[in-house]
Structure formats: structure tokens, C-alpha cells
Amino acid sequence: TTNTWLFHDLLEPYVHSVTVAHPPHVALISRVRVKTDNKAALILAQLLAVGLIESVWVPPVEVRELRALIAQRTKMVCLATQAKNRLHAVLHRIGIARPEGKSPFSPENRAWWEDLPLTKRERFRIQSDLDTLSFAVSEAERIEDFLAEESVNDDRVPLLVHLPGIGLLTAMTILAAVGTIERFENASKLVGYAGLGAAVFDSGGKHTTGRITKMGRKDLRGAMVDAAHVAARHHPKWRTEFRRLEYRIGRNKAFVAIARKLLVVVFHVLSKVEADRFAQPERVARSLFNHVYHRIGVSRLPEGMSAKQYVRYHLDQLEIGDRIQEVSWGTRVIKLPPSEIGG
């Protein structure tokens, strides 16, 4: 329920321990013929007494708040998409092509939408959808800007954005879902937590595997699939791996397989605090420059650090690129400060 953590925080100071159960794990309670709060509480107590209820991880307050921010941005993106779909539907209904340009819904095209041959009521609905779209886009951008500011002092973010397909928003989504990587014994546990592991049926000497379970955090699973699409297009290693998988299992399943493999890399990078073994220093440096200039902003870097110093510092933290003296970024060639690795 929405107030689960409230009750946990209120009870914790007064009892030995508070167990928060995952609803599917106690689903049998809802199947009894006679169900009351008292009976359900008694059954839960009996199951807990014999060790049949496993507690879920209770995220600290800062992780809960980060998850709420990520969810709020997702809601704004969905709200904007719904408004765009309704506007598209109007054009389909009256048989008019959308305005030219990359963004038919930009403020510059508002007059075009309002001049469509519509009734008074339909025009009002168009204006409402345009206002909704403007609000949703503005709020999503505000949240993204706030997340960028929050990410500056988290050393785990550069660890993630050096990986192909993972930008600031994906990194923050991963960190919000994972919380602390130490709570996962191995990469398989993290894969299962994201619902990216295959369903397994093993009985009577027969062993089969099915589709991914999808029993886990939907936000983490979606973020990794999005990252897989980008990595498969732009990174040589992942492009080769994707083509191999696509030939064998098909395009969509190949993207999911890449997402799972990427999540395994995420586990090792976060737990060992080291670079991916397939990391290309020049690409990583460009990713870090992109992270600084397009996401967090130079003015937000700690202690008056320049973009060049920021990139060099994190390359040294990853222990890669110590011989790189300059990096091509767009049309510019940026000289880096000397590496401090080895002295």
C-alpha cells in the first residue's frame, strides 16, 4: 500500500524487528473462504513464526525519495505522450497532415493547431491538450534538471554513464531501483530483481526455460532495455553480440538478452568500482564530456572543477585512459590534464 513505509518507520523504534512482506508471497491468504483482518493477521503471524515469510529490503528515505522522483518524471512523460496521441487522433479524424518540422507540437505551431477547421468544443479540447503537453514537458525537464543537480555528488553516476547506452536518467533510474549494490549476492540476484531472468521449469527430470519472468522492478527492466537499444546501435562489442543473438533468437529477444548482459556489467562495475573490461577510453571520455556539458553543467561541478579536470579525474578513478592527452568531442579537440595514475 502507499503507506507501507510510514507504518514501518512508526513501528521500528518500538519492536525487535518489522517484517515487510511481498504481497505475492502471501497470496494464499486472499484465497481462503472466510477472510477477516483478524484471521489474516493471525495467519501472517503463524507464517512468520515458522519462517515462511521473507522480508523485502526496506529502502532508506533518500532512496524512496529518488524512486518517487523517477516515477514522477515517468508520469509526466506518459502524460505528454497521451496528449500527443490525442492531438494526432484529431488530425486523423479530419484528414489533415501534421505541420512540417521535427516538432509539430512546439509552441511555434500552437496557432496552426488553433486555426484548424474545428467546432468550438473540439478547439477547446485541442487547447487543453496543448496546455497539458506544455505542462508535462516543462515538469519533466524540471525533474531532469533536479536529478542532474542531485547526481553531482554521487560517485556511482560516472561509473554508470561510462557504460554504453547509459546516460544520466538511466543511471539515476538504476540507482533508485538498486539502492545499494551490496544487498545483491551476485549478478544473477540483480537480474532476477529486474525480472530479466528466464522462467525455469524443472520437474520430473525435465528441464525447460521460458520467457523472462517480468517479476521485478519494471522501471529497472525498462531502463536496461532502453540502454540495450542504444548500446546495440553504437558500441562495436554490443553491436556484434546483438547481431549474433538476433540471428539465433530474433530481434526483440536479442534486445532483452543484451539488457540482461548489460545489467550483469552494471553489477560488476558498481560492486568492484572499476571500468568495464570492454570500455574504450576515448569513448568513455566523450561520454563524460557529454555528461558534463549536456546534463549536469560545468557550473555544478564540485569545488570549481573544470570539465577537463572532471573527465580526467573519473578516467583515473576507472584506471583507464592514462595515456590519453586529448579527446575529440564534436568539432572540438579538448586537451586533458595529465593523469595521476602511477604518480
Strands (E), the chain: 198-203, 206-212, 326-329, 332-335
- Whether 207 shows a pLDDT value over 70: the answer reads no
Q: Are 316 and 341 in contact (CB under 8 A)?
A: yes
Average pLDDT estimate for 294-304: 88
Which residues, including other chains, have CB under 8 Å from residue 168's CB and lie 6 or more apart? 144, 147, 148, 151, 157, 161, 291, 295, 296
| pLDDT value for 202 | 66
For residue 136, count other CB atoms closer than 10 A to its CB: 20
Average pLDDT estimate for 273-286: 92
Which residues, including other chains, have CB under 8 Å from residue 153's CB and lie 6 or more apart? 302
How far is Cα 253 from Cα 242, in angstroms, rounded to an integer? 10
| pLDDT value for 239 | 95
Residue 32: strand, helix, or coil: coil
| pLDDT value for 89 | 94
How far is Cα 315 from Cα 300, in angstroms, rounded to an integer? 19
pLDDT tens-digit profile of 219-277?
999 999 999 999 999 999 999 999 999 999 999 999 999 999 999 999 999 999 999 99
Average pLDDT estimate for 178-199: 93
Which residues, including other chains, have CB under 8 Å from residue 81's CB and lie 6 or more apart? none
Q: Are 98 and 88 in contact (CB under 8 A)?
A: yes
- Whether 29 shows a pLDDT value over 80: the answer reads no
pLDDT tens-digit profile of 104-125?
999 889 999 999 999 999 999 9
- Whether 25 shows a pLDDT value over 80: the answer reads no
pLDDT tens-digit profile of 63-103?
999 999 999 999 999 999 999 999 999 999 999 998 887 78
How far is Cα 14 from Cα 331, in angstroms, rounded to an integer? 62
End-to-end alpha-carbon separation of the chain, Å?
54
Q: Are 220 and 170 in contact (CB under 8 A)?
A: no
Average pLDDT estimate for 291-320: 91
| pLDDT value for 177 | 96
Average pLDDT estimate for 27-32: 70
Average pLDDT estimate for 304-314: 91
Average pLDDT score over the chain: 91
Angle (deg, nearest 10), helices 236-249 and 251-272? 140
Q: Are 168 and 147 in contact (CB under 8 A)?
A: yes
Average pLDDT estimate for 295-302: 90
pLDDT tens-digit profile of 118-148?
999 999 999 999 999 999 999 999 999 999 9
- Whether 343 shows a pLDDT value over 60: the answer reads no
Q: Which of 132, 172, 166 is nearest to 149 (CA)?
A: 172
| pLDDT value for 40 | 82
CA contacts within 13 A on the Cβ side of 40: 13
| pLDDT value for 138 | 97
- Whether 35 shows a pLDDT value over 90: the answer reads no
How far is Cα 81 from Cα 140, in angstroms, rounded to an integer? 12
- Whether 30 shows a pLDDT value over 70: the answer reads no
Average pLDDT estimate for 289-302: 91
How far is Cα 267 from Cα 160, in angstroms, rounded to an integer? 10
